[in-house]
Structure 1
Amino acid sequence: MTIGFSLRTAVSACALCAAGMLIVTSPVAAANRAGTDPGARGRPNAAVPQPALLQHEGTQVRPRAGAPETPDVSALSWVVADAGTGEVLAAHNAHEKLPPASTLKTLFALTVLPAVPGGVQHTVSAKELAGIGEGSSLVGVVEGHTYRVSDLWHGVFLNSGNDAVHVLAALNGGWNQTARQMQVKARSLGAMDTYVVSPDGYDADGQVSSAYDLAVFGRAGLRNPDFARYCSTVETSFPGNDGSTFEIANTNRLLTGADGVTPYPGLVGIKNGYTTNAGNTLVAAAHRGERTLIVTVMNPQEGEGFEVYEEARALLDWGFDAAGHVDPVGSLDGLRPVAHGAQVVVPKPAPAPPPPAPASDDWPQTGAIAGAAGLGAGAVLMGLRRRSRRLARG
Structure 2
Amino acid sequence: MRKKSWGLLALAAGLLLGGFLPRADAETTEPAGTPPAVEEPEVVSEAATLIDSETGTVLYAKNADEQLYPASITKIVTGIIALENTKPDEIVTVSKEARNEDGTRIYLEEGEQLPMGKLLYGMLMNSGNDAATAVAEHIDGSKEKFAERMNQFVQDKIGTTSTHFVNPSGLPDPAQVTTAADMAKIASYAMKNETFRKIVSTKTMPWDGQVWKSELVNHNRMLWDYEGANGVKNGYTTEAGNTLVTSAVRDGMELIVVVLQAPGNQQAYDDTRKLLDYGFAAFAKQTVISAGQTFEVQDGAEPVQWQADQALTAVVRKDETPEATVRPDGQVTLRTKFGDQPIGRLTAKVEQKTAKDVHASSVGSQLDSTSDSGGSTMQKVVWYVWLFQLLLFALWFRLKLKRRRRY
TM-score (norm 1): 0.64
- The aligned counterpart of 1:177 is 145
- The aligned counterpart of 2:135 is 168
CA contact (8 A) 1:279 1:299 kept: yes
CA distance in 1, matches of 2:109, 2:276: 39
Q: What's the CA shift for 1:115?
A: 1.4
CA contact (8 A) 1:88 1:329 kept: no
Q: List per-residue Cα deviations over 1:248-290 (Å, max 9, x = no partner).
A: 110011113xxxxxx1000011110000000000010100011
- The aligned counterpart of 1:321 is 281
3-state SS in 2 of match to 1:241: coil
- The aligned counterpart of 2:216 is 248
Counterparts of residues 210-229 of structure 1 (less than 5 Å): 210-229=179-198
CA contact (8 A) 2:50 2:60 kept: yes
Are 2:104 and 1:137 equivalent residues in the alignment?
A: yes
CA distance in 2, matches of 1:276, 1:270: 21
CA distance in 2, matches of 1:300, 1:332: 29
CA contact (8 A) 1:196 1:207 kept: yes
CA contact (8 A) 2:99 2:107 kept: no
CA distance in 1, matches of 2:187, 2:59: 16
1:87 and 1:329, CA in 2 relative to 1: closer, same or farther beyond 3 A?
farther
3-state SS in 2 of match to 1:306: helix
- The aligned counterpart of 2:161 is 192
Are 2:267 and 1:307 equivalent residues in the alignment?
A: yes
- The aligned counterpart of 1:297 is 259
- The aligned counterpart of 2:54 is 84
- The aligned counterpart of 1:363 is 347
Q: List per-residue Cα deviations over 1:202-239 (Å, max 9, x = no partner).
A: 11122110100110110001111121111111111222
3-state SS in 2 of match to 1:156: helix
Are 2:77 and 1:96 equivalent residues in the alignment?
A: no
CA distance in 1, matches of 2:337, 2:247: 19
Give 1:77's aligned amino acid. A
1:90 and 1:145, CA in 2 relative to 1: closer, same or farther beyond 3 A?
same
CA distance in 2, matches of 1:224, 1:331: 29
Any gaps of 5 or more consecutive residues in structure 1? Answer: 1-63, 257-262, 341-359, 372-394
- The aligned counterpart of 1:53 is none
TM-score (norm 2): 0.62
Q: What's the CA shift for 1:66?
A: 3.2
Which protein has the bigger strand share? 2
More relative contact order, 1 or 2 (CA 8 Å, 6+ apart): 1
1:116 and 1:214, CA in 2 relative to 1: closer, same or farther beyond 3 A?
same
CA distance in 2, matches of 1:116, 1:75: 36
- Choose 1 or 2 for highest CA Rg: 2
1:154 and 1:331, CA in 2 relative to 1: closer, same or farther beyond 3 A?
farther
Q: What's the CA shift for 1:332?
A: 11
1:321 and 1:305, CA in 2 relative to 1: closer, same or farther beyond 3 A?
same
- The aligned counterpart of 2:230 is 268
CA distance in 1, matches of 2:243, 2:119: 22
- The aligned counterpart of 1:45 is none
Count of equivalent residues? 271
CA distance in 2, matches of 1:65, 1:122: 54
3-state SS in 1 of match to 2:134: helix
Any gaps of 5 or more consecutive residues in structure 2? Answer: 1-33, 284-316, 321-334, 354-407
